[in-house]
Structure 1
């Protein structure tokens, strides 16, 4: 799929239809990538969900470039393809809803993973604290500076 260029000038109905079709195709492909990403991340398959990041970036750039070309040719498009502009506005509204949904899924996944890491860190800190007469106690460590007594290093394995 070739991306439209900003220097493209629309001078007839065929050119207007081709530009609108190209931007619509890019928009549909981008929406499809976002839907797959959301579906994978919703069920916890982060690797598969993030596998198409390069495609998403390329399609986003092509879509933005297409929008710039449409803006540069707005007068000609209104003259030669008014129904195409209306269809693009409708498709852009659906795309905006898909982006909002995708962002909500990503924010939820981020929040859940952050909560898990914090809970794991707290549990590890608790496991390393000995209790002496009912109060938590720690042996002095040569690696912990004053004021850093409550922080311990946390190591995660990405192979799990």
Structure 2
């Protein structure tokens, strides 16, 4: 694995360019996360997950930028102290956006798991024979009722 070159900040212009690059990556990633959250909230999962590759690339660029900022913390404090404050402020806002996005995705995951479990239960109950109104499950050496079968899902919803 080849390691990227480490950028060394030696002047004010380099410090300001690094701050601008990291702020740009953060803003672009935040926009993708906001769009994803909006689509998922509205139930448009396909559209919400359509930019996964772009999101991954932006997240990687953002992480590389943070590593460069950490490696040049002293130079940034010397040449662009206002840039450090701008990064801190933007990062707090970004963290809130990431938290919101994670909550939306977790909610969607929980809802979809609940729907699938409910569907599987209904399918299993509808296939079980009943005697006097009670479901009857034939014994099976595999631990399942004889009427149980696979659950088929469509990913094209």
Normalising by structure 1, report the TM-score: 0.90
Q: Deviations over 1:121-144 (max 9, x none)?
A: 01101110121123212467xxx6
Q: Determine if the alignment matches structure 1 residue 147 to structure 2 residue 146.
A: no
Q: Is the 2:138–2:145 Cα contact (8 Å) retained in structure 1?
A: no
Shift in Å at residue 145 of structure 1?
3.6
Q: Which runs of 4+ in 1 moved over 3 A?
A: none
Gaps of 5+ in 1: none
Which residue number in structure 1 is paired with residue 63 of structure 2?
64
In the alignment, the residues of structure 2 paired with residue 125 and residue 94 of structure 1 have an alpha-carbon distance, to the nearest angstrom, of 47
Given the alignment, which residue of 151, 156, 159 partners 2:153? 156
Normalising by structure 2, report the TM-score: 0.91
Which residue number in structure 2 is paired with residue 76 of structure 1?
75
Partner SS, residue 143 of structure 2: coil
> Aligned residues, how many?
153
Q: Determine if the alignment matches structure 1 residue 39 to structure 2 residue 38.
A: yes
In the alignment, the residues of structure 1 paired with residue 62 and residue 71 of structure 2 have an alpha-carbon distance, to the nearest angstrom, of 14
